Structure 1
């Protein structure tokens, strides 16, 4: 899938490649960290690749958090617990919004963790703020590593 996204991005006109990276960044499990790598490997300036992947990831995460918040506000029902949801709930109880936001992307996409935290009762504004910080940090870290790797290979 990553290779397909790289090929798609590389085939776009130069001025639209950032749109391809932004769309890749909006996909759960690709997000800002792999989106920025895709952009760098496709030949975009690392700053542009990181920014595009971060924006795509943030837009999709915010849309899903606002949707989850609206649904939570309108629906009061018992949810079936899955082992994965219970594990996330324990991490949320232990580390809070900040910890799950900053570390959660190593386990689950930001879109999933952010919706789960809102469903647990976390403030949607706090979730959005911490997720944005996390998305920027993860995207920048992976984008810089990709740029260093591409420079070493070239």
Structure 2
């Protein structure tokens, strides 16, 4: 299914290609740093691919950040068993340890490697960071990762084997 989507995208006009890369970059855990090599590999312009990946990834992460208050309310209002509650508390503790060790800049920049941009943003917000600060650092991280991946691909470095 993904192969068929990419093939149709490759044969479409540049506007649809831009939108297609944006959509791929919006998917959690795939994000911009994966959309860039895919877009370039199937023949899209590197600059267009990087910009589309940044825009798509940024939009989806901003939705997560701006909806984080509702997510917190939903999470607090949920009835869960003691076992599930204990498991959630352990995850939250791990996320908070990561946050306290690296702060918003570290979690945002390391997020794509460890937990994804979307989860990194939620951890920062849940740990008490201001939305504005998280938005700034998530934007920086998204741009750094997309541009960095674009440069690596253009230099011919096979990032998949590492």
TM-score range, shorter chain: 0.7 to 0.9
CA distance in 2, matches of 1:76, 1:107: 23
Go from structure 1 to structure 2 and tell me whether the alpha carbon gap of 1:6 and 1:143 turns closer, same or farther (over 3 Å shift). farther
Q: What TM-score do you get using the length of structure 2 for normalisation?
A: 0.80
Contact 1:26 1:56 in 2 (8 A): yes
Q: How many residues align?
A: 149
Structure 1 counterpart of 2:104: 97
Is residue 144 of structure 1 aligned with residue 151 of structure 2? Answer: yes
Go from structure 1 to structure 2 and tell me whether the alpha carbon gap of 1:58 and 1:77 turns closer, same or farther (over 3 Å shift). same
Structure 2 residues not aligned, in runs of 5+: 79-84, 158-162
Go from structure 1 to structure 2 and tell me whether the alpha carbon gap of 1:111 and 1:4 turns closer, same or farther (over 3 Å shift). farther
- Find the partner of 2:122 among 96, 108, 115: 115
Go from structure 1 to structure 2 and tell me whether the alpha carbon gap of 1:22 and 1:91 turns closer, same or farther (over 3 Å shift). same
Is residue 125 of structure 1 aligned with residue 132 of structure 2? Answer: yes
Greater CA radius of gyration, 1 or 2? 2
CA distance in 1, matches of 2:7, 2:136: 33
Q: What TM-score do you get using the length of structure 1 for normalisation?
A: 0.84
Contact 2:99 2:123 in 1 (8 A): no
Structure 2 counterpart of 1:60: 60
Structure 1 residues not aligned, in runs of 5+: none
- Aligned-residue Cα RMSD (Å) equals 2.4
Go from structure 1 to structure 2 and tell me whether the alpha carbon gap of 1:20 and 1:75 turns closer, same or farther (over 3 Å shift). closer
Structure 1 counterpart of 2:27: 27
SS of alignment partner, residue 27 of structure 2? coil
